[in-house]
Amino acid sequence: MLKTLKEIKEEGWEALVERLGVADATMFVMEHEKGYGDYTEERKKIFGQKTIDEIVKDIKESKKGR
């Protein structure tokens, strides 16, 4: 019986983790995944001209509200 794409992905991930460990398997997958969009433009839309300190402050404030 043929395996589904989901089953193949799951088995592939398990094999990578077994051989490389979770961190290296993740890095491997990230290197081979196709990205999309323009990260630079997206970043500008999301953060504008905010400094890193402003971004960190926003994150902390967001976590307080949860």
* pLDDT means over runs of 10, the chain (66 residues): 93 96 93 83 90 91 82
Q: What are phi and psi of 33, to 5 degrees?
A: -80, 140
Q: For position 23, what pLDDT does the model report?
A: 94
Q: Quick one: pLDDT at residue 35?
A: 76
Contact 47, 55 (CB under 8 A): yes
Structure pTM? 0.49
Are residues 20 and 28 in contact, defined by beta-carbon separation less than 8 angstroms?
Answer: yes
